[in-house]
Structures are given as structure tokens and as C-alpha cells.
Amino acid sequence: MAPLAPRLPKLAAALSSALLAVCVLAPAARAVTVVRYDVHSRFVHRTLAQTAVLPAGGGAERPLLVFLHGRGPAGNEANANGSFYAALRALGTRAPVVVFPNGGDHSYFHARRSGDWARYVLDEVIPQAVERFGADPRRVAIGGISMGGFGAFDIARRRPSRFCAVGGHSAALWQRSADTAPGAFDDAADFARNDLIRLARARGRTPWGTARLWLDGGTADPFRPADERFASALGIRMRHWAGGHTGAYWQRHYQRYLRFYADALAAC
């Protein structure tokens, strides 16, 4: 047998890798468990990291919240932070399993040249999370921040009976194709196919079925005008609090977001 000392660095590295996969966060009495795993997607033709957060006691029979991240390289880790975990713990027995899918830097979670990101969420992320954690497949909500807020509404309209609630937090919406951020859509035709404001003006909230709907944004958020148009077309009240399009704003309101989803999932 080889001496132990030369093997210590390898053992330490192996232990470190294992801890990255599953982490239990204090306090122990109300801990959340963070699980990291991969989804091998046939819809977007790549392997994508996922981050899931399980409330104390595990995920069996709990509802599922799919929470989509904003644009940028942080991806599925963008909202995996202490503020979110604390807000989830505060829900107690009503806390859902939460999965943060990776949507790449700027997929905007819709079907486009790079792949069908909506089908990836609907037919891979959600079924695999339900199977892996034992979540209740009948009680699912979807929401997201910025790019993810747009993605949540765009995905949910494709299967309106799938979701108990849909939320957009500072949702990245535009009123014209010419105003969109570079890379958000492939071209003007891609924007037109996914123009949620136009869709809501034509059909109201019908494309989202009976799901409870939520929109909020900071008073200084550049997306506020488009988001207010969308809320008006949906016939819902948009919530505003002081702040801009920043992580600090969203972290201050995680508890409000999670209470909305928990209430909707409990009543679903």
C-alpha cells in the first residue's frame, strides 16, 4: 500500500469535489440541501449544469419551483445564495423544491437557432427534477429574473395547464424589435414570434390559463415601461419597489417572491 502522505492532496481534492455536489447549509434544524447535477439535453444539444435547493426534510411530495436566471455567465448559480436560502427556509413546511436551470449566457429561454430552450425546461429540466427529488408533478410554478422573467412567461404560454403560477421579476421585455439587447433574439422574426406584449394585447391572459401571475420591478428599472404595458395587457397589477435592475433589488425581495409561489402552489 502506498504511504498515506503522498495521497493526501488527491484525497483532499476528491473530498472537495464531493462537497461541491451536495451541500447542507446551517442551521441544521432548518437546513436546506443544495444539489448540483447535469442535464444532457437533446433539445439544446449540450450538457447543462443544474442547481437544486431542497428544504429541510427533502423533496418528496413537495411542489416544484423552476426559477430562471438573468443574462450572464453566472447561470444556474446566479440565485444560489444565502439570501435565497434564508427566504426558502422562512416558508417552513410550505417550502417547495427549487431548481435553477442553466440557460446559458443569453438564450432567453425560447426556441431559437441555438436550440429549443423552452422544450429543454418543459421536457427535461422539470421531469428530471420531479424524478430525482420526488416532487409533486401536479404542483409546479415557474418564475425568473430579467432574462428569466421573460423566459418564464414565454415557456408557460406553451403549456398553460402545466403551471400553478408564473412570475417575472424585472422581466426583460421590449416593445419593439429594434430596442432589444444584442443576442436576445436571432432576428426581427424571432422577436415577433415571442412578442409577449403583442400576444397579451391580442388574447389577454388566456395563453397562461388559470395560473396566478406576478410582475414586479424597481422604480428605476429600464424595463419598467414595457413591463407595465405587459401587466396592463394581462389585466394584473405590477408591483414596484425602490431600486433598479440590480442583484441588490432582487435579493431584498426574494421573500416576497417565494411567498407568492408558495401561496399559489398551496392553492393549486
One-letter amino acid at 231 equals: A
Percent residues over pLDDT 90 in the chain: 88
* pLDDT over 80 (residue 10): no
Quote the CA–CA distance of 121 and 135 in Å, as a whole number. 16
Cell of 20: 461541491
Long-range contacts of 110-116 (CB under 8 A, 24+ apart): 110/151, 110/154, 110/155, 110/190, 110/194, 112/185, 112/186, 112/190, 113/186, 114/44, 115/41, 115/43, 115/44, 115/45, 115/46, 116/43, 116/44
For the chain, what's the residue count? 268
Q: 193 burial class (0-12, 13-18, 19+ CB within 10 angstroms)? A: middle
Look up residue 125 and give its DSSP letter: I
Q: Which of 8-12, 231-235, 251-255 has the lowest mean pLDDT?
A: 8-12
* pLDDT over 80 (residue 207): yes
pLDDT recorded at residue 26 = 42
Kindly provide the b/e burial profile for residues 35-70, where b requires at least 16 CB atoms within 10 angstroms of the residue's own CB.
bbeebebebbeeebebbbbbbbeebeebbbbbbbbb
- Of residues 152 and 3, more confidence is placed in 152
- CA 264-35-263 angle, to 5 degrees, is 10
pLDDT recorded at residue 9 = 43
Quote the CA–CA distance of 29 and 184 in Å, as a whole number. 43
* pLDDT over 50 (residue 221): yes
pTM above 0.85, yes or no: yes
Which pLDDT band holds residue 24 (cuts at 50, 70, 90)? very low
pLDDT digits over 40-67, tens only? 999 999 999 999 999 999 999 999 999 9
Cell of 234: 394581462
Percent residues over pLDDT 70 in the chain: 89
Cell of 184: 436576445
* pLDDT over 50 (residue 210): yes
pLDDT recorded at residue 31 = 86
- Report the chain's terminal Cα–Cα distance, integer Å: 59
Which pLDDT band holds residue 30 (cuts at 50, 70, 90)? low
pLDDT digits over 88-132, tens only? 999 999 999 999 999 999 999 999 999 999 999 999 999 999 999
The answer to whether the beta carbons of residues 146 and 170 sit under 8 Å apart is: yes
Maximum CA extent, the chain? 73
Quote the CA–CA distance of 137 and 216 in Å, as a whole number. 27
